[in-house]
Amino acid sequence: MERASGCEGTLSDMDDAPARAAALNDYHAAEVVDCVRCPLAQTRTQVVLGSGDPNADVLFVGEAPGYHEDKHGVPFVGAAGKLLDKLLGGIGLTREQVFVANVLKCRPPGNRDPLAAEIEACEGHLFRQVGIIQPKLICTLGNFATKLISGRPDGISRVHGNELPIAIGGHKLLLYPLYHPAAALYMPSMLATLEADFARIPGLIGAAAPTPIVVGDAAPPPTDAFRSSADVDRSEVAVVAAAREPAAEPQQLGLF
């Protein structure tokens, strides 16, 4: 499945790590730091670009910066971020080994859900980040990121844990939708599912390598493609927004 992206700047010849890091820095400085593509520019403290390794195999995509991210300029620094760190640790990864970004680079006031117009204005930044980083795997966290990257309306409760081969700007990769960590903070059953889905990430990174020559019965099983559904999992959307509120600090949630 080819995902139309607007990431014309895919840097297919950029196989050198420092060059990729420089390209990402240059893009951020030239196009993102002072972005005024939507009205969130007027209410943000700063743009939250993303953080981690520009050469990472795995790109995590969340929803939007919340109160803490807006203050610090770094994604996932609140309660959901602490859970993300813990989940990464559980599969032997650190934040420094992956790249973490959001659908929106600026905080929606009051941590409301992203608006369609804001997503449309901002998506070019994310697709350009994908084009430069060229990850093997994009793990979308929650509904907004999953729908944007897949280009499909399927709700996260239906598609989580189901990898889908896609191409963004000609770059082939695996999309792997996951529940948003903020949702799992509120629902312990979701946390168990999220942990189980996370456990498959190392294997998927390996599987996402260039297609191997398959001999005889060694062919991999067909990928479980997304089921078709127009559901929006509103319960998940609501708790994700709530968790971006300043009040949703770890000690107040009593979850860490």
Binding site for ligand URA (CB under 6 A): 62-66, 69, 75-76, 78, 80, 102, 182, 244
Closest distance to ligand URA from the beta carbon of 195 (Å)? 18
Nearer to ligand URA, 106 or 174 (CB): 106
Closer to ligand URA by Cβ: residue 169 or 181 = 181
Closest distance to ligand URA from the beta carbon of 190 (Å)? 15
Least spacing, CB of residue 165 vs ligand URA, in Å: 25
Nearer to ligand URA, 115 or 207 (CB): 115
By Cβ distance, which residue is nearest to ligand URA?
62
Give the largest Cα separation in the chain, rounded.
59
- Between CA 198 and CA 86 the distance in angstroms is 11
Other CB atoms within 10 A of residue 202 CB: 15
The answer to whether 112 touches 43, Cβ cutoff 8 Å, is: no
Comparing CB distances to ligand URA, the nearer of 134 and 143 is 143
**Least distance CB 230 / ligand URA (angstroms):** 23
Q: Spell out the alpha helix ranges (H) of the chain.
A: 17-27, 67-72, 79-90, 116-133, 143-150, 156-159, 181-186, 188-199, 201-207, 234-243, 250-253
Q: How far apart are CA 156 and CA 201, in angstroms?
A: 17
